[in-house]
Amino acid sequence: MTDALPVSRSPLIVSFTETAAFTETYGFAGSQGKVFLEGQLIRPETPSDTVLIFMHPASTLNLMPMPKALAEAGHHVICAASRYAKNDTALIMEKVVADLGAYVRHAREALGYAKVVIAGWSGGGSLALFYQSQAEAPTLKDTPAGDAYDLTKAGLIPADAVTFVAAHTGRARILAEWIDPSVLDETDPDARDSSLDLYGPDAPQPPYDDAFVEAFRAAQQARIARITERAQSMLADLEARGGAEVERPFIVHRTMADPRFLDGSLDPNGRPVGTCYLGTPETVNSGPVGLARFTTLRAWLSQWSPLSRADALDTVPSIKAPLLVVENGADDAVPPSHPQQVFAAAGMADKTYVTIDGASHYYRDQPEALETAVATLTGWLRERGLAP
């Protein structure tokens, strides 16, 4: 970055009392009646009355290039980790909203910032919109599993603006487009329909025709529906037993198979074909880092199933705060149709769409693209009185 300001990093600890029916996160922080959140405040010496808050449901973003670059450009930035940082096995999206709300309140009341911007990036984009929709007009009192969790009483404070940068429409939607529909037996990943196995020798080769893509997408939806039905049935069975067993983990095999990885003519942008943001799709498809690989019944329903409320296409129409949508023109994680659909669905009077040509998801080895992204956010925020 040109003329980068020196920045400092400070640990940020936020906590609040919450009583859970059972322990879902490991260790002291998950079993003592309090939620402990570990974040980081990155800022230059120059003052600002506005802070940008980045949160991903399951990642920590303090080492990502954009937050630091924004701080070096003069912004104050909080990288906020949820209670499920680096482990989304038991993640409940409604509880992540409460975690983000705790950071917003802390930023205003403890740190003294007059204005807060929720900076949604990647998987944090749909979270940002989910949060803002509930902060502006809270409605939810339970989770998709039927557990009581009242966001109408969480005291969520609306942000002054929201950004949606290199972001997909939601974890459930992107999984439904990436999950491998060739799996026939959820307990045996080797039992597959060879005609739907993108990486097998018998599957059609790219470019794919419309009939194959339509059949592939239908099979993906069917597999998602089967897993969802199984999760609901198992929860109902555990409840009917009336015992102390109330939750169960399970594995979801093969979750990184999208025809777009191998066919650049589908949802085209400048991404490299034959790869994805996590590496070789075939390797990731069966590896341990695939989406939803390890999950619990409740977590599946809240973050991965069609019942998930963290769906940007459902939440963005009601939001009133200004919105900036940024599409990275060579994004290898987010299909371009996702930010385009979010922008089209957005109902606020003040909304802006920008495409950064050639930018990949992480801006790896792309300092010019990162600088353009920072300049885009800075200019948009400054026009609205939200930048120093």
End position of a domain, from candidates 236, 270, 304: 304
What single DSSP character describes residue 51? E
Q: Name the average pLDDT for the chain.
A: 96
pLDDT at 29: 67
- How many domains, the chain? 2
What proportion of the chain, given as a percentage, has pLDDT over 70? 99
d(CA 286, CA 183): 11
End position of a domain, from candidates 258, 281, 304: 304
Cβ atoms of 303 and 88 closer than 8 Å = yes
pLDDT at 2: 57
Report the CATH number at residue 57.
Answer: 3.40.50.1820
List the Cα angle 333/339/345 in 5-degree steps. Answer: 150
Q: Which residues lie closer than 8 Å to 126 by C-beta, 6 or more apart? A: 120, 167, 168, 169, 170, 171, 310, 311, 312, 315
Does residue 1 carry a pLDDT above 50? no
Instruction: Residue count of the chain, please give it.
Output: 388
Phi-psi region of 374 (alpha: psi -120 to 50; beta: other; left: phi over 0): alpha
**Residue 388 resides in a domain:** no
End position of a domain, from candidates 257, 284, 304: 304
| 19-23, 27-31, 58-62, 211-215: the lowest-pLDDT one | 27-31
d(CA 212, CA 204): 8
**Residue 355 resides in a domain:** yes
**Residue 353 resides in a domain:** yes
**Residue 55 resides in a domain:** yes
What proportion of the chain, given as a percentage, has pLDDT over 90? 93
Looking at the structure, do residues 158 and 177 belong to the same domain, yes or no? no
Please state, in angstroms and as integers, the Cα–Cα distance from residue 251 to each residue in 46, 162, 287, 300, 320, following that order.
48, 34, 12, 11, 39
Tens of pLDDT, residues 153-176: 999 999 999 999 999 999 999 999
The arithmetic mean of pLDDT across residues 134-155, rounded, is 97
Looking at the structure, do residues 296 and 328 belong to the same domain, yes or no? no
Looking at the structure, do residues 312 and 163 belong to the same domain, yes or no? yes
| 25-29, 130-134, 242-246: the lowest-pLDDT one | 25-29
Q: Structure tokens of 268?
A: 């085209």
The arithmetic mean of pLDDT across residues 45-65, rounded, is 96
d(CA 82, CA 38): 8
What single DSSP character describes residue 142? B
**Residue 119 resides in a domain:** yes
**Residue 180 resides in a domain:** yes
Tell me the backbone φ, ψ of residue 99, rounded to 5 degrees: -60, -45
**Residue 1 resides in a domain:** no
Looking at the structure, do residues 43 and 138 belong to the same domain, yes or no? yes
> Which of residues 79 and 3 earns the better pLDDT score?
79
Token pair 């506005």 is found at 50
What single DSSP character describes residue 217? H
The arithmetic mean of pLDDT across residues 236-249, rounded, is 96
Tens of pLDDT, residues 189-221: 999 999 999 999 988 899 999 999 999 999 999
The arithmetic mean of pLDDT across residues 127-152, rounded, is 98
Looking at the structure, do residues 267 and 376 belong to the same domain, yes or no? no
Q: Structure tokens of 30?
A: 């998950």
Looking at the structure, do residues 225 and 142 belong to the same domain, yes or no? no
Looking at the structure, do residues 222 and 295 belong to the same domain, yes or no? yes
Does residue 143 carry a pLDDT above 70? yes
Looking at the structure, do residues 70 and 177 belong to the same domain, yes or no? no
Domain of residue 202: give its range: 173-304
The arithmetic mean of pLDDT across residues 130-158, rounded, is 98
Burial bucket for residue 5 (CB in 10 Å: 0-12, 13-18, 19+): middle
- pTM reported for the whole predicted model: 0.96
Looking at the structure, do residues 40 and 141 belong to the same domain, yes or no? yes
Looking at the structure, do residues 265 and 196 belong to the same domain, yes or no? yes
**Residue 2 resides in a domain:** no
Q: Which residues lie closer than 8 Å to 313 by C-beta, 6 or more apart? A: 169, 170, 173, 341, 342, 345
Terminal C-alpha separation, the chain: 18
Looking at the structure, do residues 91 and 220 belong to the same domain, yes or no? no
Looking at the structure, do residues 165 and 49 belong to the same domain, yes or no? yes
| 23-32, 60-69, 258-267, 339-348: the lowest-pLDDT one | 23-32
d(CA 51, CA 234): 43
